């Protein structure tokens, strides 16, 4: 599972866990929430404008700017959910690497 999530390739001595472990949790939250806002709200606004469902007066269609539930979801809830989820992943990666760090310190490794 570690190979699937964090390793680049089995023969390449690089790991992506360092990015999760070394970044501040504020930065992890900000990046995840910002990317989610762009992908879930900005892209949907553009897509709705292209397809003609952004705004209108037709009674048989729900237009995006009048759909307050989806506006709230895409603007607030989805970015918060993904931001806190990314912080949880970063915290878990740090917690799982703690025993290895303690072992290195106790053995005098850098």
Tens digit of each residue's pLDDT (9 = 90 or more) over 28-62: 999 999 999 999 999 999 999 999 999 988 888 88
CB 43 within 8 A of CB 33: no
Burial 76-101 (b: 16+ CB within 10 A, else e): eebbeebbeebbeebeebbeeeeeee
Q: Is 94 helix (H, G, I), strand (E, B) or coil?
A: helix
Residue 51 lies in a domain: yes
Q: How far is 78 from 102, CA to CA, in rounded Å?
A: 36
Q: How far is 27 from 32, CA to CA, in rounded Å?
A: 8
Residue 41 lies in a domain: yes
Query: By residue range, what is the domain housing residue 43?
Result: 25-89
Q: What is the pLDDT of residue 1?
A: 46
Give the confidence band of 3 by pLDDT, cuts at 50, 70, 90.
Answer: very low
Average pLDDT over residues 4-24: 63
Which of 20-24, 39-43, 91-95, 98-102 is the most confident on average?
Answer: 39-43
Domain count across the chain: 1
Residue 55 lies in a domain: yes
Please give the backbone phi and psi of residue 7, each rounded to the nearest 5 degrees, phi first: -90, 145
Residue 12 lies in a domain: no
Residue 67 lies in a domain: yes
pTM of the model: 0.71
């Amino acid at each position: 599972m570690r190979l699937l999530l964090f390793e680049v390739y089995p023969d390449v001595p690089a790991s992506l866990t360092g990015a999760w472990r070394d970044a501040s949790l504020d930065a992890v939250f900000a990046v995840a929430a910002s990317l989610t806002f762009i992908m879930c709200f900005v892209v949907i606004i553009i897509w709705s404008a292209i397809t003609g469902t952004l705004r209108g007066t037709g009674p048989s269609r729900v237009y995006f700017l009048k759909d307050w539930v989806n506006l709230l979801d895409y603007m607030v809830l989805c970015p918060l959910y993904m931001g806190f989820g990314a912080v949880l992943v970063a915290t878990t990666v740090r917690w799982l690497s703690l025993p290895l760090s303690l072992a290195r310190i106790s053995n005098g490794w850098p």
